A and B are shown apart, each in its own frame.
Chain A
Amino acid sequence: MISFSPSEEQQMIVTMVKQFANDEMRKIYRECDESGEIPDSVVETAWQLGLVASSMPEECGGFGGEHSAITGALIGEELAWGDLAMAMHILCPALVAYPLLEMGTDAQRKKYLPLLCGEKYKAATSALIEPHFDYDPHSLSTTARADGNDYVLNGDKCLVPLAAEADLLLIYAAADGRSQGFIVEKGAKGLEIGEREENMGIRGLATYGLNLKDCRVPRENRLGGEKAGDFDRILNCSQVGLSAMAIGVARAAFEYSRDYAKERVAFGEPIASRQAIAFMLAEMAIEIDATRLMTWEAAWKLDRKEDVTKEASLVKAYADDMVMMVTDRAVQILGGHGYIREHPVELWLRNGRGFATFDGMAMV
């Protein structure tokens, strides 16, 4: 039956994550953006919430809960409301854990999932995006060639979060004409991690370029083994995850600019009393809600294991535009003050612009 109400358990998780976002992330996000560093302590505190481990099997050290894309979307929104760079950092292990959980062979799950369910946060990451303006996830330039008992990986990647500290990397490459994931361990020969990248936004998040030069991985490290994982599904899970995070960023910007508009007086009245401002806020509110409902719908279909290529790509494109529209207007509503780094709206605008480029950097 059509219903728009998260389950009780989901509501509890949302409350918990909201509180964390408000109490921990919102205290330090500006500093993180300026310094480019996210303190270990906040990542550790987040890890203790068990957001990733909760849906991992018990025999791998997880809590054995059901994995749900809707829950993932709810969490993504709240964390990104706190701060996008931190949200991506905190959830980075999920980039490997969720695909492994769904598509890994028994051996792969046994070997690697325990690493991602430990008591302490351990970085793991995935590499999808390539450094071309029109890179295409469906025909990647990075290749994996079968050679004896190995695959040999060659190519370049960019925007790989936490690559330098990650113990595990899920690297996507074209093999037999389609995109597939390969599990690469830290320090593999032929895997070269570049300088830390400098981006317009998400500056707290350490991202890197990668170069793969005849990097050999054993055959059994192809995600899903002989059968190979369902790449489209991974991409869809990522699009839903990113859409959810876009909503979080947009909601942060909306709330801040709304409150500001009620306080700020010009020509004798709060600026929110003028329709030019009020209607901007109304449209922001409508589009945030609309994107959330579309994200939930795509997530709901993911949970039903249906093909959601259409829904996921539609909502991702919609969310990309929405978050840009909302964060831009938030800056506009603050006027010159919005441009100054004392207010957070310029940060959200910089972060918001990233979504059109981000791919595979979140997962539900």
Chain B
Amino acid sequence: MIDFEPTPEQQEDIKAAHAFARDLFRPVSRHYDEHEHDSPDELIDKMWEDRSKGTLALGLDVTAALRIEELCWGDAGLFMCVPGPGLGGAAVFASGTKEQVERFLGSFNEGGPKWGAMAMTESGCGSDTSAITTTAVRDGDHWVLNGEKIFVTWGKRAAENQDSLVVVWATVDKSAGRAGMKSFVVPAGTPGMRVEKLEKKMGIRASDTATLVFDDCRIPFENILGSPEVRKVDKSQTKGFKGAMATFDATRPIVGAMALGVGRAALDFVREALEKEGIKIRYGLRKQKLSALERDLMEMEANYKAARLLTLRALWMMSQLQPNNLESSMAKAKAGLAVTRITQKAVEIMGPLGYSRKHLLEKWMRDAKINDIFEGTGQINMLIVARRVLDFSRDQLK
């Protein structure tokens, strides 16, 4: 039955996440934006504690989206400092064997804060992942990795904190194209892996974005995720592959949820500012009767709603075990762009209040933009949607 009511538990979750974001993120939001490579260590310890039971114990489901929206309403950059297996963990779950999941993630929650990063992008390729040049060469019981990865979220934390891990994509056979691409788990502190650089960014500055260099980096043979053999994925034996798709189809709407949080922060800001001025939005009036300001705000609200419902649907489908590749990309494409535009419009509407660094609104505009770039740019997600609705292969639509 069609229903839009969160369960009572989810409503509690939302409240708790909101309070967490309000009390722990918002007060230090500006500081970590202005002091880019400062690490919020105290906060990280608190987050690590909370992870085992509280707001930050996040899965890949509707509940997670509801919480993440609240957390990113607080601060998207700080949310991205939350320790945990992250995208690296997602990759292990997606392509690893049971034994590997147990080995790499089994005791992840024990001890001190840890991170799991995922390194795909290189300076020469981002969207076109099949063009990666980092190599993995077998040497007896080891793989030897060589290459450079850029823009690795949690890159520094995952490479340097004990028991953290980085999942690195590399090619074992360049001539085999996609089929030659494999992922490898590189434990933190492995000799030959080093942090080369920390990026300075437009927004989400609390999140570390690192360049990782792999220089004859040796890892055990068993650290390859999935099969070491190079062959075209055959649909009949694709259990692991399907699992992979399902997991990646889950991370995209999660980015959607992050975007929503930032967008709602901006919307709340504008609504409150207008309320203070005694300006009421007159819903229910025909367009001809509305002010330009009201029309703008309503359009922003409607776009936020559209993105939110697409995001929740994508995750709901996943929990129903329905394939959601199309719906995930729809959600990500819509949310990334909608929130980019909502925050930009909010700054415009608020004039000097919007543009001033005294308020967080300008920061949210800078934070929002990343959601239309990582985990597949807006264009790449449109490409996926288009292929799906056209029933076209990668070759039929490039």
Q: Is A136 an interface residue (CB 8 A)?
A: yes
Q: Is the CB of A235 within 8 A of B390?
A: no
**Residue of A at shortest CB range from B387?**
A278
A271 to chain B, nearest CB (A): 11
Is B205's beta carbon under 8 Å from chain A?
A: no
Given A289-B330, A290-B306, A290-B307, residue A3 in contact with residue B316 (CB < 8 A): yes
The segment from B4-12, B40-48, B132-140, B221-229 that touches chain A is B4-12
Q: Which one, A1, A4, A289, A309, contacts B5 given CB within 8 A?
A: A1
CB within 8 Å for A3 and B310 given contacts A294-B302, A315-B302: no
For residue A353, CB closer than 8 A to chain B, the reply is no
Inter-subunit contact A317/B302 (CB<8 Å): yes
On whether the beta carbons of A7 and B286 are closer than 8 Å, the reply is no
- Distance of B17 from chain A, by nearest CB (Å): 16
A134 with B333: CB separation less than 8 A: no
Q: A134-B288, A261-B390 are in contact. Are A314 and B2 (CB under 8 A)?
A: no
Question: B305, B316, B383: which contacts A278 (Cβ < 8 A)?
Answer: B383
Flag whether A200 is at the interface (Cβ < 8 A). no
A137 to B7, CA, bound (A): 37
A138 proximity list for chain B (CB < 8 A): 284-285
The distance from the CB of A278 to the nearest CB of chain B, in whole angstroms, is 4
Quick check: A285 and B306 within 8 Å, CB to CB?
no
Q: Given A1-B7, A6-B1, A285-B330, decide whether A134 and B309 contact each other with a Cβ distance below 8 A.
A: no
Which residues of A (125-166) have their CB < 8 Å from a CB of B? 133-138
- Interface residue ranges of A32-84 to B (CB < 8 Å): 70
- Cα distance A102–B384 in the bound complex, in angstroms: 45
Over the window 253-288 of chain A, the binary record of Cβ atoms lying under 8 Å from chain B Cβ atoms (1 yes, 0 no) is: 000001001100000001011010011011101110
Residue on B nearest A283 in the bound complex, by CB = B382
Interface secondary structure of A, over-half rule: helix
- Find chain B residues with CB under 8 A from A4 CB: 2, 312-313, 316-317
Chain B nearest CB, measured from A37 CB (Å): 31
A-contact 0/1 string along B357-398, CB 8 Å cutoff: 000000000000000000000010011011101101000111
Task: Determine whether the beta carbon of B4 is less than 8 Å from that of A134.
Answer: no
Known: A2-B312, A282-B386. A318 touches B392 (CB 8 A): no
Q: A199 CA to B396 CA in the complex, in Å? A: 42
Closest to A277 in B: B386
Nearest CB of B to A353, in Å: 14
Q: How far is the CB of A280 from chain B (nearest CB, A)?
A: 9
In the complex, how many angstroms separate the beta carbon of B372 from the nearest chain A beta carbon? Answer: 14
| Contact present for B383 and A314 (CB under 8 Å) | no
Least distance between A76 CB and chain B CB atoms (Å): 15
A296 at the interface (CB under 8 A from B): yes
Query: What is the CB-to-nearest-CB distance from B216 to chain A, in angstroms, rounded to a whole number?
Result: 41
Which chain B residue lies CB-closest to A301? B4
Alpha-carbon separation in the docked complex, A301 to B7 (Å): 16
Q: A5-B1, A273-B397, A286-B334 in contact; A291/B306 too (CB < 8 A)?
A: yes
Is B1 a contact of A3 with CB atoms below 8 Å? yes
Known contacts A285-B389, A293-B309, A318-B306: A232-B284 contact under CB 8 Å? yes
**Cross-chain contact A133 with B385 (CB below 8 angstroms):** no
A318 CB contacts on chain B under 8 angstroms: 299, 302-303, 306
Give, as a whole number of angstroms, the nearest-CB distance from B208 to chain A: 32
The A/B interface has a contact count, at CB < 8 Å, of: 148
Q: Decide if A24 is an interface residue (CB 8 Å cutoff).
A: no
Q: What chain B residues lie within 8 Å of A317 (beta carbons)?
A: 287, 298-299, 302
Contacts of B389 in A (CB 8 A): 258, 281-282, 285
With the chains together, A289 CA to B329 CA distance in Å?
12
A214 touches B (CB below 8 Å): no
**B284 and A300 within 8 A (CB):** no
CB pair B3 A3 closer than 8 Å:
yes
Assembly CA distance A294 to B285 (angstroms): 18
CB pair B392–A136 under 8 Å, yes or no, is no
Contact B390 A281 (CB under 8 A): yes
Tell me how far the C-beta of A308 lies from the nearest C-beta in chain B, rounded to whole angstroms: 10
User: When the two chains form their complex, are residues B286 and A136 in contact, meaning their CB atoms are under 8 A apart?
Assistant: yes
Interface residues of A in 234-259 (CB under 8 A from B): 235-236, 258
Please name all residues of chain A whose beta carbon is closer than 8 Å to the beta carbon of B301 when the two chains form the complex.
314
For B235, the chain A residues whose CB sits under 8 A away are none
Chain B CB count within 10 A is highest, among A232, A301, A313, for A313
Binary contact track A310-335/B, C-beta < 8 Å → 1, others 0? 11111101100000000000000000
Q: Is B316 touching A134 in the complex (CB atoms < 8 A)?
A: no
Residues A262 and B285 in contact in the complex (CB < 8 Å), given A70-B2, A293-B309, A317-B302: no
Known A6-B2, A318-B302; contact A309-B392, beta-carbon cutoff 8 A: no
Min CB distance, B330 to chain A, in Å? 5
Q: Find out whether the CB atom of B288 lies under 8 angstroms from the CB atom of A290.
A: no
A285-B284 contact, Cβ under 8 Å, with A5-B1, A290-B334: no
Complex A-B, nearest 6 residue pairs according to Cβ-Cβ distance, in ascending order: A290-B306, A293-B309, A278-B386, A282-B385, A282-B386, A134-B288
Other contacts beyond A2-B10, A290-B334, A318-B306: 18, CB < 8 A: A2-B3, A2-B316, A3-B1, A5-B1, A232-B284, A261-B390, A270-B396, A275-B398, A278-B382, A278-B397, A283-B382, A286-B330, A290-B309, A294-B309, A314-B301, A314-B302, A314-B305, A318-B299
28 contacts between A and B (CB under 8 A): A2-B4, A2-B5, A2-B10, A2-B62, A3-B3, A4-B316, A5-B1, A70-B2, A134-B288, A138-B285, A236-B284, A273-B397, A275-B386, A281-B386, A282-B333, A287-B306, A289-B327, A290-B310, A290-B334, A293-B306, A300-B2, A300-B3, A309-B283, A313-B298, A314-B301, A317-B298, A317-B299, A318-B306
Q: Which residues of B contact A (CB under 8 A)?
A: 1-7, 10, 62, 283-289, 298-299, 301-303, 305-307, 309-310, 312-313, 316-317, 320, 327, 330, 333-334, 379, 382-383, 385-387, 389-390, 392, 396-398
